Amino acid sequence: MIKKLLFTLLFCSITVTLAAQNCRGISISKDKNNGTETKSGITNSNDFYSLLIFKETNNADLSLEPKYSFLLNAASRVVLSDSIVNTKGVIELLLKDNSKLILENAKCFNNPMPFGFCIAFSVTVAKEQLEIISKNPIVTFSAFGILNTSFKEKRQKEQQKIINCLLQ
Protein backbone atom coordinates (compact mmCIF):
# COMPACT_ATOMS: atom_id res chain seq x y z
CA MET A 1 0.00 0.00 0.00
CA ILE A 2 2.77 2.43 0.90
CA LYS A 3 4.58 1.63 -2.36
CA LYS A 4 1.44 2.47 -4.31
CA LEU A 5 1.04 5.78 -2.48
CA LEU A 6 4.70 6.68 -2.99
CA PHE A 7 4.50 5.76 -6.68
CA THR A 8 1.36 7.89 -7.11
CA LEU A 9 2.96 10.82 -5.28
CA LEU A 10 6.14 10.51 -7.36
CA PHE A 11 4.16 10.32 -10.60
CA CYS A 12 2.08 13.40 -9.68
CA SER A 13 5.13 15.45 -8.72
CA ILE A 14 6.91 14.56 -11.99
CA THR A 15 3.82 15.48 -14.00
CA VAL A 16 3.43 18.82 -12.21
CA THR A 17 7.14 19.58 -12.63
CA LEU A 18 7.07 18.83 -16.36
CA ALA A 19 3.96 20.94 -16.87
CA ALA A 20 5.49 23.83 -14.92
CA GLN A 21 8.72 23.67 -16.93
CA ASN A 22 6.73 24.19 -20.11
CA CYS A 23 5.64 27.61 -18.74
CA ARG A 24 9.02 28.64 -17.38
CA GLY A 25 9.24 31.61 -19.77
CA ILE A 26 6.11 33.22 -18.31
CA SER A 27 6.57 36.05 -15.83
CA ILE A 28 3.94 36.90 -13.25
CA SER A 29 3.47 40.19 -11.44
CA LYS A 30 0.82 41.04 -8.90
CA ASP A 31 -0.48 44.44 -7.87
CA LYS A 32 -1.70 44.06 -4.31
CA ASN A 33 -3.37 47.49 -4.35
CA ASN A 34 -5.99 46.61 -6.95
CA GLY A 35 -5.77 42.79 -7.05
CA THR A 36 -4.52 42.65 -10.65
CA GLU A 37 -2.29 39.81 -11.77
CA THR A 38 -0.37 40.05 -15.05
CA LYS A 39 1.13 37.02 -16.77
CA SER A 40 3.29 37.61 -19.81
CA GLY A 41 5.76 36.08 -22.21
CA ILE A 42 7.94 37.59 -24.89
CA THR A 43 9.32 36.43 -28.21
CA ASN A 44 11.28 38.16 -30.96
CA SER A 45 10.65 38.59 -34.67
CA ASN A 46 13.25 38.17 -37.42
CA ASP A 47 13.91 41.93 -37.10
CA PHE A 48 14.49 41.53 -33.33
CA TYR A 49 11.27 43.36 -32.53
CA SER A 50 9.79 42.20 -29.23
CA LEU A 51 6.29 40.75 -29.15
CA LEU A 52 4.88 40.77 -25.63
CA ILE A 53 1.84 38.56 -25.13
CA PHE A 54 0.07 39.10 -21.83
CA LYS A 55 -2.99 38.40 -19.76
CA GLU A 56 -4.40 40.63 -17.02
CA THR A 57 -6.69 39.11 -14.43
CA ASN A 58 -8.48 40.99 -11.67
CA ASN A 59 -8.37 38.66 -8.67
CA ALA A 60 -10.37 41.15 -6.59
CA ASP A 61 -13.35 40.86 -8.96
CA LEU A 62 -13.54 37.37 -10.45
CA SER A 63 -16.67 38.28 -12.41
CA LEU A 64 -14.45 40.23 -14.84
CA GLU A 65 -13.06 38.26 -17.77
CA PRO A 66 -9.27 38.20 -18.22
CA LYS A 67 -7.90 40.71 -20.72
CA TYR A 68 -5.47 39.41 -23.36
CA SER A 69 -3.20 41.76 -25.31
CA PHE A 70 -0.28 42.01 -27.71
CA LEU A 71 2.39 44.71 -27.57
CA LEU A 72 5.00 44.90 -30.32
CA ASN A 73 8.03 47.14 -29.67
CA ALA A 74 10.13 48.03 -32.68
CA ALA A 75 13.41 49.95 -32.48
CA SER A 76 13.24 52.95 -34.74
CA ARG A 77 15.30 55.90 -35.85
CA VAL A 78 12.07 57.63 -36.78
CA VAL A 79 9.53 58.99 -34.34
CA LEU A 80 5.89 58.50 -35.25
CA SER A 81 4.19 61.70 -36.32
CA ASP A 82 1.58 63.22 -34.02
CA SER A 83 -1.10 62.42 -36.58
CA ILE A 84 -0.51 58.68 -36.03
CA VAL A 85 0.25 58.58 -32.30
CA ASN A 86 -2.64 57.32 -30.18
CA THR A 87 -4.88 56.83 -33.20
CA LYS A 88 -6.73 53.57 -33.70
CA GLY A 89 -5.76 51.28 -36.52
CA VAL A 90 -5.59 47.71 -37.72
CA ILE A 91 -3.10 44.96 -37.06
CA GLU A 92 -3.15 42.15 -39.60
CA LEU A 93 -1.72 38.77 -38.67
CA LEU A 94 -0.81 36.18 -41.29
CA LEU A 95 -1.02 32.80 -39.57
CA LYS A 96 0.81 29.56 -40.29
CA ASP A 97 -2.17 28.06 -42.16
CA ASN A 98 -2.14 31.15 -44.49
CA SER A 99 -5.30 32.55 -42.92
CA LYS A 100 -5.45 36.19 -41.83
CA LEU A 101 -6.61 37.52 -38.51
CA ILE A 102 -7.58 41.21 -38.40
CA LEU A 103 -7.27 42.93 -35.00
CA GLU A 104 -9.06 46.27 -34.88
CA ASN A 105 -8.80 49.18 -32.44
CA ALA A 106 -5.03 48.82 -32.15
CA LYS A 107 -3.06 51.78 -30.82
CA CYS A 108 0.40 53.02 -31.69
CA PHE A 109 2.68 55.25 -29.69
CA ASN A 110 6.27 56.43 -29.35
CA ASN A 111 8.10 54.62 -26.59
CA PRO A 112 11.28 56.50 -25.64
CA MET A 113 14.14 54.25 -24.58
CA PRO A 114 17.59 55.06 -23.21
CA PHE A 115 19.26 54.08 -26.51
CA GLY A 116 16.83 55.84 -28.82
CA PHE A 117 13.20 55.43 -29.73
CA CYS A 118 10.86 52.53 -30.07
CA ILE A 119 7.54 52.62 -31.76
CA ALA A 120 4.99 50.38 -30.15
CA PHE A 121 1.73 48.85 -31.27
CA SER A 122 -0.76 47.41 -28.81
CA VAL A 123 -4.07 45.65 -29.24
CA THR A 124 -6.53 43.74 -27.10
CA VAL A 125 -7.16 40.20 -28.31
CA ALA A 126 -10.27 38.11 -27.65
CA LYS A 127 -9.77 34.71 -26.03
CA GLU A 128 -11.20 33.06 -29.16
CA GLN A 129 -8.62 34.84 -31.33
CA LEU A 130 -5.85 33.73 -28.98
CA GLU A 131 -7.08 30.14 -29.26
CA ILE A 132 -6.83 30.40 -33.06
CA ILE A 133 -3.25 31.69 -32.79
CA SER A 134 -2.36 28.89 -30.36
CA LYS A 135 -3.11 26.40 -33.15
CA ASN A 136 -1.76 28.53 -36.03
CA PRO A 137 0.94 30.92 -34.79
CA ILE A 138 1.78 34.31 -36.26
CA VAL A 139 4.05 34.19 -39.32
CA THR A 140 3.79 37.88 -40.27
CA PHE A 141 2.72 40.81 -38.10
CA SER A 142 1.62 43.94 -40.00
CA ALA A 143 0.61 47.10 -38.13
CA PHE A 144 -1.07 50.24 -39.46
CA GLY A 145 0.38 49.63 -42.92
CA ILE A 146 3.73 51.01 -41.73
CA LEU A 147 5.36 48.04 -40.01
CA ASN A 148 5.78 44.49 -41.21
CA THR A 149 7.79 41.77 -39.44
CA SER A 150 7.97 37.98 -39.56
CA PHE A 151 8.64 35.14 -37.14
CA LYS A 152 10.79 32.05 -37.69
CA GLU A 153 9.38 28.63 -36.87
CA LYS A 154 11.24 28.50 -33.55
CA ARG A 155 9.63 31.80 -32.52
CA GLN A 156 6.25 30.55 -33.70
CA LYS A 157 6.59 27.61 -31.30
CA GLU A 158 7.47 30.08 -28.53
CA GLN A 159 4.26 31.98 -29.31
CA GLN A 160 2.27 28.76 -28.95
CA LYS A 161 3.91 27.92 -25.60
CA ILE A 162 3.26 31.40 -24.23
CA ILE A 163 -0.36 31.45 -25.40
CA ASN A 164 -1.08 27.96 -24.10
CA CYS A 165 0.32 28.95 -20.70
CA LEU A 166 -1.82 32.09 -20.62
CA LEU A 167 -4.95 30.17 -21.57
CA GLN A 168 -4.57 27.79 -18.62
Least Cα distance to 54 among 37, 34, 77, 38 occurs for 38
Pairing of strands 67-76, 116-125: antiparallel
Q: What is the pLDDT of residue 116?
A: 64
Q: Between residues 116 and 64, which one has the greater pLDDT?
A: 64
pLDDT for 16: 42
pLDDT (0 to 100) of residue 77: 65
Average pLDDT, integer, range 2-27:
52
**Residue 84 contacts by C-beta under 8 Å, 6 or more apart in sequence?**
108, 144, 146
Residue 4 has a pLDDT of 42
Cα distances (Å, whole numbers) of residue 165 to 72, 79, 138: 19, 34, 17
What single letter denotes the amino acid at residue 163?
I
Mean pLDDT of the chain: 84
Predicted pLDDT of residue 82: 64
Cβ neighbour number for residue 111 with a 10 Å cutoff: 17
Among the listed ranges 2-11, 78-87, 151-160, which one has the minimum average pLDDT value?
Answer: 2-11
What pTM does this model have? 0.81
Identify each DSSP E strand in the chain by its residue range.
27-31, 36-44, 50-58, 67-76, 88-95, 100-113, 116-125, 138-143, 147-150
pLDDT at 87: 82
Is 165 a residue whose pLDDT tops 70?
A: yes
Total residue count of the chain as it appears in this document? 168
Give the model confidence (pLDDT) of 108-152 as tens digits. 888 776 556 788 899 999 999 999 999 999 999 999 988 899 999
